[in-house]
């Protein structure tokens, strides 16, 4: 059986000390040696087949170098960007991530989080929080280092949070539609048990009032395509005078576009439709979706940074980071021409 390659073997091959090899292979100590030595050590380690003994390092330092990430829906195109952003940042410090999906179910989320804690993760990034969330409260009581990303809870002062500025994003949307001549808008609102649903709805109503735009609301029970389809049926049935639909997220907007086209409407001639989030699929629908683009990868990177900060220095004041979105204009919105002029 082939003998396992050790740090001493790499050091002997290069004729340097084991401590130098150890520093070159540890992301936290590379600043102590030159780039030339780091490159030489790492290339030699690969050549000889050296693999770090992660378990021994963990036992020696009494750290697991693992972090849990909980997302609400692994199939939602929004959340891979959050996972990637966190993983990319954490891996630079030698951390491994465990991914769990809650399927937007609080009981399942609580079960997954308990599994992560049982595996001695250093901390948890939660992207699945509800406004009233037992899992988050459990982590707080257990003193588990925790950062909420993309969603928040009611008692927001209890946790670190990295969020999109939903109020600003809604302002961008309404300003855009108003500039196109739309004076009557309808917001397809997301679930009010989730912070984005509540905050985007509140921002919509407040800014419509401020700008003198007639704002109408249709409440949905989910942030998915199916909710957008059902909402569109309800919208058409109620005989709304709205000329533009401002959806709470891109998936809802895609459902709206799909259903309006099935009903024989032309977009954006008959209705303008806007999304929110800027998912990578939003430019692939027809017409391509005008949306408020949120950098979910950047949100996650900042969440990972805050989490490592909390792991290394627990008990500090809780921080809230609010990142600004941007408007991405595509083909699903257009200048509003009243039907009386069209005819």
Contact 328, 290 (CB under 8 A): yes
Q: Answer yes or no: is 142 within a domain.
A: yes
pLDDT > 60? residue 1: no
Q: Are residues 250 and 268 part of one domain?
A: yes
Residue 341: pLDDT over 80: no
Mean pLDDT of 120-133: 96
d(CA 166, CA 185): 18
Q: Would residue 2 count as lying in a domain?
A: no
Q: Are residues 123 and 158 in the same domain?
A: yes
| pLDDT range class, residue 26, cuts 50, 70, 90 | confident
Residue 293, strand partner residues: 277, 326
Can you say whether the dihedral through the CA atoms of 76, 82, 129, 72 is positive or negative? positive
Give mean pLDDT, residues 315-320.
92
Span 143-161, pLDDT tens digits: 999 999 999 999 989 999 9
pLDDT the model gives residue 54? 60
Task: Indicate whether 68 belongs to any domain.
Answer: yes
Q: Is the pLDDT of residue 51 over 90?
A: no
179 and 267 housed in the same domain: yes
Provide the mean pLDDT of the chain: 93
Q: Domain check: are 138 and 101 in the same one?
A: yes
How many Cα atoms occupy the beta-carbon half-sphere of 80 within 13 Å? Answer: 6
Distance CA 300, CA 249 (A): 18
Same domain, yes or no: 302 and 159: yes
308 and 206 belong to one structural domain: no
DSSP states of 90-126: HHTTT-EEEEEE-TT-HHHHHHHHHHHHHTT-SEEEE
Domain identity same for 278 and 193? yes
Q: Are 187 and 88 contained in the same domain?
A: no
Do residues 118 and 183 both lie within one domain? no
Element (H, E) at 326: strand 326-328
* 287: preceding bond cis by omega (within 30 degrees): yes
Alpha helices in 148-224 (DSSP H): 166-179, 195-211
Question: What is the span of the domain harbouring residue 13?
Answer: 7-52
């Amino acid at each position: 059986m082939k003998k396992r390659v050790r740090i001493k073997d790499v050091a002997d091959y290069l004729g340097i000390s084991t401590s130098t090899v150890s520093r070159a292979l540890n992301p936290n100590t590379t600043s102590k040696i030159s780039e030339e030595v780091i490159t030489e050590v790492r290339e030699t380690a690969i050549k000889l087949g050296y693999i770090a003994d992660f378990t021994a390092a963990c036992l020696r330092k009494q750290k697991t170098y693992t972090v849990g990430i909980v997302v609400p829906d692994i199939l939602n195109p929004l959340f891979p960007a959050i996972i990637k952003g966190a993983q990319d940042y954490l891996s630079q410090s030698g951390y491994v991530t465990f991914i769990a999906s809650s399927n937007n179910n609080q009981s399942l989320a609580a079960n997954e989080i308990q599994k992560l804690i049982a595996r001695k993760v250093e901390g948890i990034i939660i992207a699945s929080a509800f406004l009233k969330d037992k899992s988050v409260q459990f982590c707080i009581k257990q003193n588990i280092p925790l950062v909420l990303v993309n969603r928040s809870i009611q008692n927001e002062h209890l946790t670190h949070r990295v969020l999109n500025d939903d109020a600003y994003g809604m302002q961008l949307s309404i300003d855009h539609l108003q500039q196109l001549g739309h004076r009557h808008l309808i917001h397809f609102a997301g679930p009010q048990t989730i912070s984005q649903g509540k905050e985007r709805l509140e921002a919509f109503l407040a800014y419509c009032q401020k700008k003198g735009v007639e704002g109408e609301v249709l409440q949905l029970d989910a942030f998915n395509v199916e909710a957008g389809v059902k909402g569109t049926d309800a919208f058409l049935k109620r005989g709304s005078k709205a000329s533009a639909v401002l959806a709470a997220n891109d998936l809802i907007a895609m459902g709206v576009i799909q259903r309006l086209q099935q009903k024989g409407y032309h977009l954006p001639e008959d209705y303008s439709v806007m999304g929110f989030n800027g998912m990578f699929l939003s430019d692939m629908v027809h017409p391509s979706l005008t949306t408020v683009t949120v950098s979910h990868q950047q949100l996650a990177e900042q969440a990972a940074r805050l989490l490592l900060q909390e792991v290394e220095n627990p008990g500090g004041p809780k921080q809230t980071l609010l990142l600004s979105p941007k408007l991405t204009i595509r083909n699903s919105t257009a200048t509003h021409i009243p039907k009386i002029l069209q005819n």
